[in-house]
Amino acid sequence: MKRVKKAIIPAAGLGTRFLPATKVMPKEMLPIVDKPTIQYIIEEAIESGIEDIIIVTGKGKRAIEDHFDAAFELEQNLLEKEKFSLLEEVQKSTNLVDIHYIRQKEAKGLGHAVWCARKFIGDEPFAVLLGDDIVDNNEPCLKQLMNIYNETSSSVVGVQEVADHQTHRYGIVDPYSTEGRTSRVNQFVEKPAPGTAPSNLAIMGRYIFTPEIFDFLGQHQIGAGGEIQLTDAIQMLNEKQSVYAYNFEGKRYDVGEKMGFVQTTIEYALKKPELKDELLEYLEELIVKEKQVR
């Protein structure tokens, strides 16, 4: 069995939910307190054992390449934050992790963005990580998926439960058998109409694929929202070879939409000892003021 060593990070979307901030600034570079979102994702990939990363970029995304120009910046950051154990991990893999870039000329959808990286992947299993979801857990989310891949040699998508009123925003799985946190899946449905979702298990931006997924992405089938959807290719792959859903452990932060972004920023600021007390005091003051106004 081939090991998962490569990861694709699609970052060529238009980021319309964050306009006008994303007019010139890539959504993936929006900071959570003091670190661009995409850096959290890259750290998760490295901690999970990924050795090569390809970022799919588009027009106006030069800031991403500039940010990762040298691994020095990442190491310096960890050093300043006194995250010595993480730094050690990163330094161990500094020579192993290479970041490459490819451009998606037109934002035709997530499925198309992944397909753009096919030559870099070749005939190997690989990971995909989206910057819309940050997952906080001791064992990185991607590592958990890799464990399932190592057991099954099959593609795995990371899922978590969402509320009924949110299912129409996600790719949703229809599981037919579940053992522990792992499910076999009847069907993967992209953004089901409200009230029609087969379950509450939503795909959360972490995937491991066998290279056969490219056979289906190469069909360039147009799906929900007029875009080439990754979920549609996953469903086609699932009809040929099992694709598992894994209900991963960890707190997932939805940084791809405004409310989630604000919540994530507050929670990550509260994790910082130098900010925590002052921020809590400030939030308490705000709440008191708001209550008086009401």
How near is the Cβ of 191 to ligand UTP at its closest, in Å? Answer: 11
The total number of residues shown for the chain amounts to 294
Identified binder of ligand UTP from the candidate list 4, 7, 8, 11, rule CB under 6 A: 11
Identified binder of ligand UTP from the candidate list 7, 90, 113, 134, rule CB under 6 A: 113
Tell me: does residue 132 bind ligand UTP (CB under 6 A).
Answer: yes
DSSP string, 120-161: HH-SS-EEEE-TTEEEE-SS-HHHHHHHHHHHH-SEEEEEEE
Closest alpha carbon to 202 in 170, 226, 154: 170
How near is the Cβ of 31 to ligand UTP at its closest, in Å? Answer: 16
Within 10 A of 164 (CB to CB), how many other CB atoms are there?
A: 10
Nearer to ligand UTP, 87 or 228 (CB): 228
Q: How many CA atoms lie within 13 A of 3 on its CB side?
A: 7
Question: How far is it, in rounded angstroms, from Cα 256 to Cα 155?
Answer: 24
Identified binder of ligand UTP from the candidate list 27, 143, 206, 252, rule CB under 6 A: 27
Question: How far is it, in rounded angstroms, from Cα 109 to Cα 112?
Answer: 5
Name, in order, each residue with C-beta under 8 angstroms of 12's C-beta and a sequence gap of 6 or more: 56, 57, 58, 61, 103, 104, 107, 113, 116
Identified binder of ligand UTP from the candidate list 6, 8, 13, 87, rule CB under 6 A: 13
Tell me: does residue 233 bind ligand UTP (CB under 6 A).
Answer: no
Tell me: does residue 108 bind ligand UTP (CB under 6 A).
Answer: yes
Nearer to ligand UTP, 27 or 143 (CB): 27
Closest alpha carbon to 137 in 160, 110, 169: 160
Binding-residue total with ligand UTP (CB under 6 A) = 21
Nearer to ligand UTP, 87 or 214 (CB): 214
Tell me: does residue 45 bind ligand UTP (CB under 6 A).
Answer: no
Tell me: does residue 41 bind ligand UTP (CB under 6 A).
Answer: no
Name the region of 172 (left: φ>0; alpha: ψ -120 to 50; beta: rest).
beta
Angstrom distances, CA of residue 77 to CA of 16, 72, 82, 166, 268: 29, 8, 9, 35, 16
Question: How far is it, in rounded angstroms, from Cα 198 to Cα 172?
Answer: 7
Question: What residues between 54 and 93 interact with ligand UTP by CB under 6 A?
Answer: 56
Nearer to ligand UTP, 86 or 134 (CB): 134
Give the interface segment with ligand UTP, choosing from 5-13, 171-179, 186-194, 245-253 (CB under 6 A): 5-13
How near is the Cβ of 9 to ligand UTP at its closest, in Å? Answer: 8
Q: Which residues bind ligand UTP (CB under 6 A)?
A: 10-17, 27, 56, 104, 107-110, 112-113, 130-132, 256
